[in-house]
Amino acid sequence: MKRMNLTLDDVTYRNLKALAALKDSPVAKLIKFFVDREIKENPEECELCRKYGNIPNAETRKALEASAKGKGLSGPFKNTRELFDHLDKDE
């Protein structure tokens, strides 16, 4: 998750808060809804959004392919302490 400070005019601020209250939803979830809808409705304008939001890069694709083949995996671990001990080891 990332944090962002927004400067809104009073009317927009009140409307955003009211919409969030009407939908019984946090403002962040409402903003996510609007952004997702904009990307879906205007895909040609949001090529960059889709690229960085949904399409894995080469490194991620390579890691996904390796894990699907059972390569590069570790564990299973009995508890989180065991996991962190493994991660802290110098290899």
Answer yes or no: is 75 within a domain: yes
User: Average model confidence (pLDDT) for the chain?
Assistant: 80
Does the global pTM surpass 0.75? Answer: no
Answer yes or no: is 81 within a domain: yes
Instruction: Pinpoint the alpha helices (H) of 42-73.
Output: 47-54, 58-68
Question: What residues contact 15, with CB distance under 8 A and at least 6 apart?
Answer: none
Confidence tier at 89 by pLDDT (50, 70, 90): confident
Answer yes or no: is 65 within a domain: yes
If one counts the domains in the chain, the total is 1
Q: What is the mean pLDDT of residues 32-55?
A: 75
Q: What is the mean pLDDT of residues 8-15?
A: 92
Are 60 and 54 a contacting pair, CB within 8 Å?
A: no
Residue 9 has pLDDT above 70, yes or no: yes
Answer yes or no: is 24 within a domain: yes
Answer yes or no: is 4 within a domain: no
Q: Which domain holds residue 75?
A: 10-88
Answer yes or no: is 50 within a domain: yes
